[in-house]
Structure 1
Amino acid sequence: MDLRTYIVEDNATIRENLIGTLEELASIKALGWAETENEAKSWLAGNEGQWELTIVDLFLKQGSGLGVLEACRGRNPKQRVVVLSNYATADMRKRCLQLGADAVFDKSNEIDALVEYCIALCEAPRPGA
């Protein structure tokens, strides 16, 4: 069963490669994507129960991934939000976790860990399954 995933990433090349990689290796189904904080917040608010995973970059064309994290604070406990950023410093990881991120991955050297995370979510029992 595919993991219904929403992507918040403003770099088209990175976004397309990420979606292709995760669809192939980790059985995700990309529901859509946003390039700005406002687009992401609007989609997430309008599709509250439709997604299982949201992957968020911190630096966006408008706004910040931190605002997207804040908007996800009231999500269903079964929904996961992870950060994928080139700016995954110790301080930023701590801040993201404080804002409710379930995990933080560095784009430059933790893509394999993100794939493993997604695979583990796919393999976990889900309600109604």
Structure 2
Amino acid sequence: MRAYVVEDNATIRENLAGTLEELTCVRVAGGSAGEDEAGRWLADPDHAWDIVIVDLFLKNGSGIGLLQRIHRRVPQQRVVVFSNYVNASVRKRCAQLGVDAVFDKSTEIDALVDYCARLCALVAAAQPTQA
């Protein structure tokens, strides 16, 4: 599974990428710190992605702005929010924007890893077996 990580803190972005690559089948294809760069990368037809992980507070723009930009995507692509700013209102807004899952950075990193691992299992199960 190819991921794109949108996180303004480079250390968090790199650590998250390393964790996901070590513990799941996720391979991070790219990442950025801001809405505009992420929007351009995700819209480029030469860049294939299966999951995008978005923080809400970015260097430029916002995660909500990016979510609005990538609202239309193929059904197999997943969009996940991973932020320190998660409450009932944020979860509701994310659901309205078609976000597949929302995780709080401070308490739900394991849940994010588990979510990605489950997606990996689903992808593996959908692959045809070779005789």
Q: Secondary structure at the match of 2:30?
A: strand
The CA RMSD measured in Å over matched residues stands at 1.5
In structure 2, distance between residues paired with 1:47 and 1:70: 18
Pairwise mapping of residues 68-107 of structure 1 onto structure 2 (< 5 A)?
Answer: 68-107=66-105
Displacement, 1:85?
0.1
Q: Secondary structure at the match of 1:124?
A: helix
> Unaligned stretches of 5+ in structure 2?
none
**Structure 1 consecutive aligned stretches of length 4 or more whose deviation exceeds 6 Å:** none
User: 2:41·2:47 contact (CA, 8 Å) conserved in 1?
Assistant: no
Greater C-alpha Rg: 2
Displacement, 1:48?
7.1
| Paired letter, 1:100 | G
> Unaligned stretches of 5+ in structure 1?
none
Match of 1:112 among 99, 103, 110: 110
- TM-score under structure 1 length normalisation: 0.93
- State, as a whole percentage, how many aligned pairs show the same letter: 58
- Structure 2 CA distance for partners of 1:26 and 1:125, relative to 1, 3 Å: closer
How many residues get paired?
127
In structure 1, distance between residues paired with 2:88 and 2:67: 17
Cα shift readout 1:26-61 (whole Å, capped 9, x = no counterpart) = 121000001110001100110477100000000000
Which residue does 1:7 correspond to in 2? 5
